[in-house]
Amino acid sequence: MSGHYRTASGGIDLERSRPIRFEFDGQAYQGLQGDTLASALLANGVHLVGRSFKYHRPRGIMAAGPEDPNALVTVRRDAARSTPNLSAAQVELYEGLVAHSQNRWPSLRFDVGRINDLLSRFIPSGFYYKTFMWPRTAWHSLYEPRIRAAAGLGVAATEADPDVYAQRYGHCEVLIVGAGPAGLAAALTAARRGARVLLCDEQALPGGSLRADTGTRIDGKAATDWLRETMLELAQAQNVTVLTRTTAFGYLPHNMVCLSERLTDHLASPPASKPRERLWQVRARQVIFATGAIERPLVFPGNDRPGILLAGAARSFLNRFGVLPGRRVVILTAHDEAYRTALELQAAGAQIVALADLRARASGPLIDAARGAGLAIRRNTTAVGTRGNLRVCAVGLAAVDADGAAAGDTDWVSCDTLLMSGGYTPSVHLHSQGRGKLRWEETAQVFVPAEAGQSCRSVGACKGLTGAALAAVFNQAATAARDATTECGFEALPVTIAVSDDTSAGGGWLGTLPQAARPRGGKAFVDWQNDVTAADLGLAVREGFRSIEHIKRYTTTGMATDQGKTSNLNALAIAARQLGRTIPEVGLTTFRMPYLPVGFGGLAGYARGELFAPLRKTPMYGWAAARGAVFEPVSMWQRARYFPERGEDMHQAVARECQVVRRSCGIFDATTLGKIEVAGPDAIEFMNRMYVNNWNSLAVGRCRYGILLRDDGFVFDDGVVARTAEDRLHVTTTTGGAPRVLGLMEDYLQTEWPQLKVWLTSTTEQWAVIAVQGPRARDVLEPLVEQADLSAASLPHMAMTRALVCGVPAMIFRVSFTGELGYEINVPADYGAEVWRAVWESGQAHGMCAYGTESMHVLRAEKGYIIVGQDTDGTMTPDDAGVGWAVGKSKSEFVGMVSLRKRALQDPNRKQLVGLLTADPRHVLEEGSQIAATPGQRPPMQLVGHVTSSYYSSVLRRSIALAVVNGGRSRMGETLYVPTPAGESAVTVTQPVFYDSKGERLNG
Amino acid sequence: MLVIPCPYCGPRPELEFSYGGQAHVARPTAASNPSPADWNAFQYERANIKGLHAERWRHIHGCARFFNVIRDTTTDEIVRSYRSGEK
Amino acid sequence: MAEPAKRQPPSVAPLAGLRVLAPLARYALRVDLAVAAAAAAAAAAAGAGAGIMPLATAVCRASQLRDWHALWLGPDEQLLLGPAAAGAAFAAAVGNALQGVPHSLVDVSHRQGALEVSGPAAATLLNAACPLDLGLAATPVGFCSRTVFGKAEIVLWRRAEHAFQLEVWRSFLPYVHGLLTLAAAE
Ligand SMILES: [Zn+2]
């Protein structure tokens, strides 16, 4: 037997033949296949499942769905798979499930934090802001950690999440959220007309309220039989996708709905390959919300003890799981539906010790039925308190007088369960997220969806048909689905569903229940999860808060993980009453996604580890990795940073690599440089308009250093540009700049100069680029090259030629970023690795080394060659960066030209690129260090610039640095001061070229 | 995530597009020797409209064309789209 | 040293329904389509380069001429795909056919690799990271377009109801392949 509170029969969610063992707080229990953790615990008579957030009050299961604010548990598979803050009613039982209560120490039954409840008058709403103001330093060290430790929810897993999380983009004509009666009627209608239908429901099994329906007959069948047949029809339809365990949590612009599908959390042993969750981003032509309604609790003193449940939840537990929440039940209601619960519980063997109705008048078939079944109904009755420590044991009932206050003696009715119903709140969250308007229905006292913000419709209980006859719900849903599919261009086919033996119900209550003038029954909770009481809301209003948004934030009502699903309307009613305004005048707080908490895993999806982002590798990556290269990320690329030999650290490796390049030669992978083919009869004209340089004079077969500005006049990118044919240029960009340079060029070409006959094609990845740099570069390459002459006369510095390299058609650029004789061999990328190997082998006779980006940086800094983005920062003109010589003097147009005319950009005191030499040649300045003109300053200091590049040069046997300094070019020889943690470092301003200042080695 | 009607390819997901700022901001040529105020207006002054906004988008991961969109900044509703150079 | 090196496209592990296609010749052709069509017709009439150049004139659709496919990627942009060995001759013939017509023909054979995703679940698998509606109404056989796959840009070409060709820049190919492999594992 799976618990003493299990009924002998019934429970349509159950497989009674399959018992399941599980563990809660270390205690073993038995449940049944189909149980939730909540139903299984209740079947075992366990109501106490948690401690409250702030006061550590004992709390029990209150609702039968994820809206439950109380029964938050942690489900733990292992140290890496531990999920906190799950509602026990959304946790499906599986063999061996281990769950824990939260926010208690040392144990759930004896919790030291309970002292907070006794101290509660010192921690009212807003206490966080008021109490701990002084001393300020104590806030971080003392108050906040203590408060956070004492008030809290579950604890996240401590190890990396090993599960896979899937994602999918979905597309359909009609998306239906909720597979209760309204959603099913909508799905049948839309599906029979051929539209692509996606139907999702957060529960494990579809049907919604039909699963607890024992009386209604649909199309002449029991509701549960109709449900089964309907699901069969939908499952067989090719055009229908049904997703269970799937929560629609966000409704975004242009009819995108985000779904979280839980795939394995209900399995005892999830298959390793199966993702745990799938995040759906569904684009629907039309959306139908059939999201139902949530039962409201009642606000009265002591309303939070374990054993106090929502009446509808008790009915769910009984009919779906065959569980009696207790044997001696008091029902307190303002809604007819609770009478149905009373009747069914009585039929299942529970004793209804009292049935109290807050309303003076209540009538209808359900009330008649209750009376017929011999239930004594107390009208006009309120609750003024409850008793019981870890479980409710009595309820204090009192009559309500003509003024709406509790009057007369309190009748303490002993019980083991109290069921309450304040009526139903339509779930308008998603409709509202989509900027839909709400309308206040005065008679029903609910907000219902009004004008939709997007192509969506709400049907059924979420549209206000709570407690309505099923026929009306079906009719409304089928009509909405027909209209939605018609709007998608599908032909109309009427769907009619016949309903009999149905009863409608009504009623509801908002705000605090009638109490005596001086209530003494203790705290009356509004927001169970955040421990917000009616008194807290009153205090907020008394302290001057008027806007509901401010009251929410001050009291934190509705701000817990449940986002106030059970509490917001009661809070609003209490605040409105205190403010002396109507509920629609005060208005609701904003509904925001997510509807329910969504794990980070689902949001991250596949984007983890190696697949977080593309790791771009060049064709030579494998060679470098095999040689033990250390890589660094440069934008999305993995670039070899240095090639350590025999235990070298980076500095040793870089020192060796630089010396070998200057003495002999080195091979360098320059593939990641961006490449853009600019082709067409107007190619030169286009480049004239884009770049600062004058391109008319660039002959075919020649290269030039180009600078690209933005229209604000600041350096955007640079690179070598080669004219490969009369109407064709090969433009190179920085590694990180390739996409944005192409984007900027396309922008001007398409929108400013669309008449130019020129086209841009990215060829970054077409070519593998092998740089061979150093005095022996020609000797290394010559044996491999056919159909080209590498001699200085034939291929001088800044020339290019086509050739065969290792038999592969290649472009050879004689360019240098090291100041040495150098070539950059471009071969089609599939040949890159093989040609690289051939060059490497050829270089061995010449002592060639492979060098990485670190040595590249040092070698170029020795020559004062800037790196855009390192030595420039988006506020530097070409002149500032020391490359003003590149700007064409007689040009009529280029991007940034007008800005360069600004007086501010011609100020001689702007920061200009210079070299710095430290007094101590071993001292390498920190890049980014600030520079002062005079020594010994104290903050605030007068600063004149900063260091942009700084290295130790093994070739020069000293440190070198590039810097930008106000009026730097007029400060040559001056001494400046760089504050460092170790003291001030005196530096001398120099030209930014430290090596071969005449540039003779380039022409070797 | 929006659905943006590319005037060349039709409606496509926002992920394929990049935003290009306010549309129809005329760029003075260098030859016209614009006043600092005019150049400044072109460079930095934008309307920041609440309501119907003419803006540039590029179907960067599609046909790669720049084009214009009239979008309501309060609702994200896209009223229409049209090619660069069109009104 | 006249032995041409072997082409080595980026390598990835094999998986059913997902394979790396053999190297192709690829050209990015940029030209005013109407002008190009007229020029091609004229060249064909003159017997020069007859029937060499496929042109895709329908938006986001591929067309085929013998061994060569043209994929419409933009109003003035075609991606031409054909046998690797025939690339150089093809480029020369296209150049001839377009003589006097302003255009840009750029060899991008090595810029990208091709993946084939096939099988009844191919569209579903692609929707793991591709946001397009892959229903046949929105993306019929012959559909082609640049789009995104996760954080990579791809060209998606539907060659059959259940077969897609993905053109992926070479350094993004292992990422796209890895994402497809992980998504296919379920
Ligand atoms: Zn487009």
CATH number at residue A126: 3.10.20.440
Which tokens belong to C78?
Answer: 């075609």
- HSE on the CB side for C40, CA within 13 Å? 18
Q: What subunits touch chain C, counting only 3 or more CB pairs under 8 A?
A: A, B
- Which residue has tokens 């390819």? B9
Judged by CB atoms closer than 8 Å, whether chains meet at A171 and C178 is answered as no
The mean pLDDT value for A694-720 works out to: 98
Ligand 1 centroid to Cα of residue A742, in Å, is 17
CATH of the domain at B9: 3.30.2270.10
Chain C CB within 8 Å of residue A834 CB: yes
Ligand 1 centroid to Cα of residue B22, in Å, is 19
Chain A CB within 8 Å of residue C130 CB: yes
For the segment A430-448, what is each residue's pLDDT rounded down to a tens digit?
A: 999 999 999 999 988 999 9
Predicted confidence at residue A324, as pLDDT, reads: 97
Which tokens belong to B8?
Answer: 């060349």
Structural domain boundaries, residue B71: 3-28+36-83
Task: Please name the helix (run of DSSP H) or strand (run of DSSP E) that holds residue A730, with its range, or none.
Answer: strand A728-733
Report the residue of chain A nearest C6, measured CA to CA: A831
Ligand 1 centroid to Cα of residue C129, in Å, is 19
**How many whole angstroms separate alpha carbon A905 and alpha carbon A714?**
9
Residues A317 and A418 in one domain: yes
Is A925's pLDDT higher than 80? yes
Structural domain boundaries, residue A432: 167-293+426-492
Residue A263 lies in a domain: yes
The alpha carbon of residue A746 is apart from the nearest alpha carbon of chain B, in Å, by 8
**How many whole angstroms separate alpha carbon C106 and alpha carbon A679?**
8
Residues A6 and A128 in one domain: yes
For the segment A768-793, what is each residue's pLDDT rounded down to a tens digit?
A: 999 999 999 999 999 999 999 999 99
Q: CB of A333 within 8 A of CB of A311?
A: yes
Report the residue of chain B nearest A903, measured CA to CA: B36
**How many whole angstroms separate alpha carbon A9 and alpha carbon A6?**
8
The residue from A605, A623, A641 where one domain ends is A605
* Cβ neighbours of residue A232 closer than 8 Å, sequence gap 6 or more: none
Predicted confidence at residue A132, as pLDDT, reads: 47
Among A26-35, A555-564, A800-809, the least confident range = A555-564
Per-residue buried b or exposed e for A527-562, using 16+ beta carbons within 10 Å of the residue's own CB: bbbbbbbbbbbbbbbeeebeebeebbbbbbbbbbbb
Share of chain A above pLDDT 90, in %: 86
- HSE on the CB side for A552, CA within 13 Å? 20
For the segment A321-355, what is each residue's pLDDT rounded down to a tens digit?
A: 999 999 999 999 999 999 999 999 999 999 999 99
**How many whole angstroms separate alpha carbon A563 and alpha carbon A558?**
5
User: Confidence band (pLDDT; 50, 70, 90) for C1?
Assistant: very low
Judged by CB atoms closer than 8 Å, whether chains meet at A746 and B66 is answered as yes
Q: Residues of B with CB below 8 A from A747's CB?
A: 20, 58, 66
- HSE on the CB side for A182, CA within 13 Å? 28
- Quote the Cα angle for A335-A338-A343, to 5°: 145
Residue A382 lies in a domain: yes
Compute φ and ψ for A104, nearest 5 degrees.
-145, 150
List, as ranges, residues with CB under 5 A of the ion ligand 1: B 6, 8-9, 59, 62-63
**How many whole angstroms separate alpha carbon B16 and alpha carbon C155?**
12
**How many whole angstroms separate alpha carbon A488 and alpha carbon A197?**
12
Report the residue of chain C nearest A782, measured CA to CA: C1
* Cβ neighbours of residue A889 closer than 8 Å, sequence gap 6 or more: A694
* Cβ neighbours of residue A52 closer than 8 Å, sequence gap 6 or more: A58, A59, A70, A103, A304, A528, A529, A531
Q: CB of A772 within 8 A of CB of A664?
A: no
The residue from A370, A401, A422 where one domain ends is A422
* Number of domains forming the structure of chain B: 1
Is A148's pLDDT higher than 90? no
The mean pLDDT value for A509-538 works out to: 91
The alpha carbon of residue A897 is apart from the nearest alpha carbon of chain B, in Å, by 7
Predicted confidence at residue A680, as pLDDT, reads: 97
Chain C CB within 8 Å of residue B10 CB: yes
First to last CA, chain A: 93
If DSSP states are collapsed to H, E and C, what string results for A405-430? CEEEEEEEEECCEEEEECCEEECCHH
- CATH class in words for C24-107: alpha beta
Share of chain C above pLDDT 90, in %: 72
Q: Write the burial class of residue B70 (CB in 10 Å: 0-12 exposed, 13-18 middle, 19+ buried).
A: middle
**How many whole angstroms separate alpha carbon A107 and alpha carbon A122?**
25
For residue A619, give the nearest of A823, A829, A805 by alpha carbon: A829
- Which residue has tokens 């105020």? B37
- Who among B13, B42, B84 is closest to A754 (CB)? B84
If DSSP states are collapsed to H, E and C, what string results for chain C? CCCCCCCCCCCCCCECCEEECCCEEEEEEEECHHHHHHHHHHHHHCCCCCCCCCCCCCCCEEEEECCEEEEEEECCEEEEEEEHHHHHHHHHHHHHHCCCCCEEEEECCCCEEEEEEECCCHHHHHCCCCCCCCCCCCCCCCEEEEEEECCEEEEEEEEECCEEEEEEEHHHHHHHHHHHHHHHCC
Residues A562 and A539 in one domain: yes
Judged by CB atoms closer than 8 Å, whether chains meet at B58 and A281 is answered as no
Residue A40 lies in a domain: yes
User: Confidence band (pLDDT; 50, 70, 90) for B34?
Assistant: very high
Most confidently modeled range among A582-596, A729-743, C6-20 = A729-743
Residue A347 lies in a domain: yes
* Number of domains forming the structure of chain A: 5
For the segment A967-1004, what is each residue's pLDDT rounded down to a tens digit?
A: 999 999 999 999 998 899 999 999 999 999 999 999 87
Predicted confidence at residue C5, as pLDDT, reads: 60
Residues A477 and A329 in one domain: no
Report the residue of chain A nearest B23, measured CA to CA: A751
Q: Count other C-beta atoms under 10 Å from residue A66's C-beta.
A: 21
Residue A52 lies in a domain: yes
3-state secondary structure of A112: helix
The alpha carbon of residue A961 is apart from the nearest alpha carbon of chain B, in Å, by 34
Ligand 1 centroid to Cα of residue B65, in Å, is 6
Q: Residues of C with CB below 8 A from A273's CB?
A: 185-186
3-state secondary structure of A53: coil
DSSP A548: H
**Domain parsing of chain C, residue ranges:** 24-107, 111-185
**How many whole angstroms separate alpha carbon A424 and alpha carbon A463?**
11
Judged by CB atoms closer than 8 Å, whether chains meet at B16 and C75 is answered as no
Report the residue of chain C nearest A638, measured CA to CA: C171
- CATH class in words for C111-185: alpha beta
For the segment A839-869, what is each residue's pLDDT rounded down to a tens digit?
A: 999 999 999 999 999 999 999 999 999 999 9
Among A40-49, A117-126, A765-774, the least confident range = A117-126
Residue A724 lies in a domain: no
Among A169-173, A712-716, A961-965, C99-103, the least confident range = C99-103
- Who among C2, C6, C186 is closest to A166 (CB)? C186
Among A153-162, A428-437, A712-721, A994-1003, the least confident range = A153-162
Among A105-119, A375-389, A833-847, the least confident range = A105-119
- Who among A254, A712, A894 is closest to B76 (CB)? A254
Which tokens belong to C145?
Answer: 């377009």
The residue from A477, A492, A507 where one domain ends is A492
Which tokens belong to A89?
Answer: 């009613």
For the segment A268-278, what is each residue's pLDDT rounded down to a tens digit?
A: 999 988 999 99
DSSP A299: B
Strands (DSSP E) along A431-561, which ranges? 438-441, 446-449, 456-458, 499-500, 525-527, 532-533
Q: CB of A913 within 8 A of CB of A881?
A: yes
Predicted confidence at residue C2, as pLDDT, reads: 41
pTM of the entire structure?
A: 0.94
Q: Is the dihedral of CA A358, A361, A363, A367 positive or negative?
A: positive
For residue A530, give the nearest of A125, A923, A899 by alpha carbon: A125
Judged by CB atoms closer than 8 Å, whether chains meet at C30 and A680 is answered as yes
Is B76's pLDDT higher than 50? yes
Residues A7 and A141 in one domain: yes
Compute φ and ψ for A940, nearest 5 degrees.
-75, 130
For the segment C29-73, what is each residue's pLDDT rounded down to a tens digit?
A: 999 988 888 887 777 777 655 567 788 999 999 999 889 999 999
Q: Residues of A with CB below 8 A from C186's CB?
A: 164, 166, 273-275
DSSP string, A752-777: T-TTS--EEEE-TTTEEEEEEESTTH
The mean pLDDT value for A915-941 works out to: 96
- Quote the Cα angle for A533-A536-A537, to 5°: 95
Chain C CB within 8 Å of residue A976 CB: no
Mean residue pLDDT across chain A: 94
Residue A514 lies in a domain: no
Predicted confidence at residue A493, as pLDDT, reads: 75
Task: Please name the helix (run of DSSP H) or strand (run of DSSP E) that holds residue A87, with its range, or none.
Answer: strand A81-87
Query: Alpha-carbon dihedral of residues A265, A269, A274, A278, nearest 10 degrees?
Result: 0
User: Cis omega (within 30 of 0) on the bond before A614?
Assistant: no
Strand partners, A198: A175, A241
Residues A480 and A393 in one domain: no
Among A157-171, C47-61, C71-85, the least confident range = C47-61
In what side-by-side order are the strands of the sheet with A666-669? A785-786, A799-805, A808-814, A822-828, A767-773, A666-669, A849-850
Residue A897 lies in a domain: no
Residue A491: alpha-carbon gap to chain centroid: 40
Q: What subunits touch chain A, counting only 3 or more CB pairs under 8 A?
A: B, C
Is A17's pLDDT higher than 80? yes
* Cβ neighbours of residue A891 closer than 8 Å, sequence gap 6 or more: A688, A692, A694, A897
Q: Write the burial class of residue A78 (CB in 10 Å: 0-12 exposed, 13-18 middle, 19+ buried).
A: exposed
Predicted confidence at residue A152, as pLDDT, reads: 61
- A709 versus A153: which is more confidently predicted? A709
Model ipTM? 0.98
Report the residue of chain A nearest C177, measured CA to CA: A611
Which tokens belong to A974?
Answer: 């001056």
Chain B CB within 8 Å of residue A716 CB: no
For the segment A671-697, what is each residue's pLDDT rounded down to a tens digit?
A: 999 999 999 999 999 999 999 999 999
